[in-house]
Amino acid sequence: MAASRGLWPLLSEPAERQVLQNLSYGLMGASGVCALALCFVPTPYGRYSSRSFGCPLPVRLAWMLQELPSLLVPLGLSLFSGAARVSEWPNRVLLALFIGHYAHRALIFPFLIRGGKPTPFITFALALIFCTYNGYLQGRSLSNYAEYPSGWLTSPCFIVGFAGWLGGMAINISSDHILRNLREPGETGYKIPRGGLFEYVTGANFFGEVLEWFGFALASCTIESVAFAICTLCILGPRAHQHHKWYHEKFEDYPKSRKILIPFVL
């Protein structure tokens, strides 16, 4: 079935499909390079924030603005780009999972942040570019090109993937809640996180997000979603390792049994 072009006449359907595929492979390649670089230079935000990476921006404002494209771009593509597949239930549900995550990250999470170091401008700009890039990648693929057989929403692939997405998001949100409540009002400094998956893994919040997007990739079965899952692992894996090393250096009593990112494995 030919895709309706709507307000998106710049590329033919085969040409845009190829563009999406190329962007996906490009994201995977860039993720590998990024993972290598992050082994030597910590991602400059949060505890590793540095003025060397540009003027500081208020953390809540920066977080909201950088995450918004991953919410607004898929919505815009679904409404205004002749979205040929958005009327089909598997595509609707998968778009809702992606958009739902970023509705929380852009519209709710920033207002939950307590304190937090300012975000350097370069870090903010790179995050903004990535969220725009990935918002187009996932939004255009699911709204216009991804095709699913009847009964996809009851298939083992979708059910297991959805369970991974839902469990990962729950772990991510609950772990962020633990981190936010480490300090009493007026306190500064860092403490060892306790409770939840933090009893087993240093990067519990990162593990939740990695699990979430690998679950989404399984539920979607698109090259675009696989590229995003790999990118998530490549960015958050090194950060989890940096946190693990930092905690061991700062706290002599940091539990040696805790793994870095994946419980019982790393």
User: Measured between alpha carbons, how far is residue 261 from residues 38, 54, 90, 205 in Å?
Assistant: 15, 29, 31, 9
Note the pLDDT tens digit of each residue in 41-73.
888 888 888 888 999 999 999 999 999 999 999
Q: Can you read off the two tokens belonging to residue 147?
A: 């095709």
Cα–chain center distance at 172: 10
Note the pLDDT tens digit of each residue in 245-260.
999 999 999 999 999 9
- Mean pLDDT over 110-139 rounds to 95
Examine the pLDDT at 216 and tell me if it is beyond 60. yes
Q: Can you read off the two tokens belonging to residue 109?
A: 């999470």
Q: What is the C-alpha to C-alpha distance for residues 249 and 108, in angstroms, rounded to an integer? A: 33
Domain ranges for the chain, please list them. 49-148, 155-266
Q: Which pTM does this prediction carry?
A: 0.93
Note the pLDDT tens digit of each residue in 73-112.
999 999 887 788 999 999 999 999 999 999 999 999 999 9
